[in-house]
Amino acid sequence: MSPEDICRRLGEAKTSAMFLELTTDAMKKVLREAKLPTTRLASHTSTRRRNEDWAQKLWRSLAEKPLTTTAATLLFEWLSRTRRPMLAEFLTGLEVQHDNGLTDADFMTAAAPEKLREHGKKLLEHYDKQEVAAYLLFLDATNKSEVFAELGLEPLLAPPPPVAAQAP
């Protein structure tokens, strides 16, 4: 599954939320990758309004165009800047040297697929299943592998159904 498919399956709300968790510099990096302007408009009366506008523009671009590198940049920035404990737990379990979840090691080819899946399952027990699915599928996408296919992660990407209002 490509990075853009991961974002599309996560849906607008989650993808926008991921983008909004980033620093301004990281947001601008993702927007530049999508060839979207990072200038402040008159309608941007606050930083929050600017960021929300950027998130909407990014989502429209991801939903309408094949922007694999933009989606990959978004996923990488989000994971490496906001989900380091999850990355660190995964790498520690694999006995991979890392700096708080970041590594240059080629652990996807060095570790046995069974071991990768085993530690992927452990992440599913301790972290948000949707986020773990995005991480593991992103690892597969960036390594052109299907190591985690057996875990059936794709259905976990779908946004949860809206909670119906209960009648009094």
- CA 135 to chain CA centroid, nearest Å: 6
Q: Provide the b/e sequence for 104-142 (b: ≥16 CB within 10 Å).
A: eeebbeebeeeebbebbeebbeebeebbbbbbbbbbbbe
55: confidence class by pLDDT, cuts 50, 70, 90: very high
- Residue-wise pLDDT for 3-29, tens only, equals 999 999 999 999 999 999 999 999 999
pLDDT the model gives residue 158: 86
Residue 43 has what DSSP assignment? Answer: T
pLDDT score of 40: 76
For 92-107, write each residue's pLDDT tens digit.
Answer: 999 999 898 889 888 9
- Residue spans of the domains in the chain: they are 3-39+46-81, 83-156
Of 110, 109, 113, 95, the C-alpha closest to 149 is 113
- The pLDDT tens digits for 128-137 are 999 999 999 9
What band does 168 get if pLDDT is binned at 50, 70 and 90? low
For residue 99, the SS3 value is strand
Pairwise CA distance, residues 10 & 39, whole Å: 27
Q: What is the pLDDT of residue 161?
A: 65
